[in-house]
Amino acid sequence: MNSVRPHITPVDFETLYIQLREKEGRIYPDEEVAQLPLIPATHPHHKEWLIRKESSQKLLSRLKKKKKALDILEIGCGNGWLSHKLSTIPWSMVIGTDINFSEIQQAARVFQHIPNLHFIYTYAEPGIFKEKRFDIVIFAAAIQYFESFPETIKNALKWLKQDGEIHILDSPFYSVMELLPAKQRSRDYYESKGFPGMIDYYFHHSFEDLKKFNYEMLYQPGKLLQRLTGYKNPFPWIAIRST
């Protein structure tokens, strides 16, 4: 049975985030959430979901090839659609966490019939998983909402089993030279939508941040091989290992 457990959450961020998502048309009814990443071609965010569909399929394919039972944690799972897809991996146990109560409620409601899938309402502080360890920790379209990349990853590494992996996908990373222009674009965007305060909760991470960790770039936009295969995801796919 899926559950929602209350925990400490930054209320200002939660309120701003949900209001912004409503204005953007990114709050979906239960019926659509159950079908994501599939969405009608007429939907204004259809192209965005095509990208997420492909990235999620590649992630699932990689994890299924491990051919073993996996304990999986998705941090920032939102409405739970990706956690739902991850729960189809044979012998998997999946936990999704988020700090937006309305979305995590929706996730628990929509996917309540799936026995190996659970949701927790939490900011995912370091002490939330005192003994539980995971084979896989996933940040999908989520790492940009964590201020310190090194601190966030160090905490996530503590939740991994010895041979575990962190996967980061569907999130922007920048060169050092690109950081300031990217921050200004984000500021301009939030101001144009009427939510200038969101800039205080959206963070820009650089590829330099990765050098402190044992990482592998599983996909990098702009590489010749990626262009030849026709894969056009604008975001990198990064794996960070515990050892």
Residue % of the chain over a pLDDT of 70:
91
The model's pLDDT over 172-205, given as tens digits with 9 standing for 90+, comes to 999 999 999 999 999 999 999 999 999 999 999 9
DSSP state of 27: -
DSSP 119-135: EEES---GGG-SS--EE
132 domain-assigned: yes
- Does the predicted model carry a pTM greater than 0.75? yes
- Asked if pLDDT for residue 223 goes beyond 70, the answer is no
Rounded mean pLDDT of 94-108? 96
CA atoms within 13 A on the CB side of 190: 17
Whether the per-residue pLDDT at 46 is higher than 90: the answer is: yes
Range of the domain at 16: 11-241
pLDDT band at 12 (very low <50, low <70, confident <90, very high): confident
Lowest mean pLDDT, pick from 5-9, 65-69, 81-85? 5-9
Residues near 221 by beta carbon (within 8 Å), at least 6 away in sequence: 233, 234, 235, 236
Q: Stretch 144-162: mean pLDDT, rounded? A: 95
Domain membership flag for residue 168 = yes
CA distances from residue 187 to 88, 145, 201, 202, 234 in whole angstroms, order as listed:
38, 14, 11, 9, 20
Residue 64 inside a domain? The answer is: yes
Q: How high is the pLDDT of residue 222?
A: 78
Q: Residue 129 has what pLDDT?
A: 83
pLDDT for the residue 10: 55
CATH number at residue 121: 3.40.50.150
Say if 109 falls within a structural domain: yes
The verdict on residue 42 lying in a domain is yes
Closest by CA to 2, choosing from 106, 148, 88, is: 106
Residue 125 has pLDDT above 90, yes or no: no
| Residue-level pLDDT at 8 | 39
Would residue 176 count as lying in a domain? Answer: yes
2 domain-assigned: no
User: Which pLDDT belongs to residue 9?
Assistant: 45
104 within 8 A of 126, measured Cβ to Cβ: no
Give, rounded to a whole angstrom, the gap between the first and last alpha carbons of the chain: 34
pLDDT at 5: 45
Q: What is the pLDDT of residue 7?
A: 40
Number of domains in the chain: 1
Q: Is residue 6 in a domain?
A: no
**In this predicted model, which residue has the larger pLDDT, 10 or 78?**
78
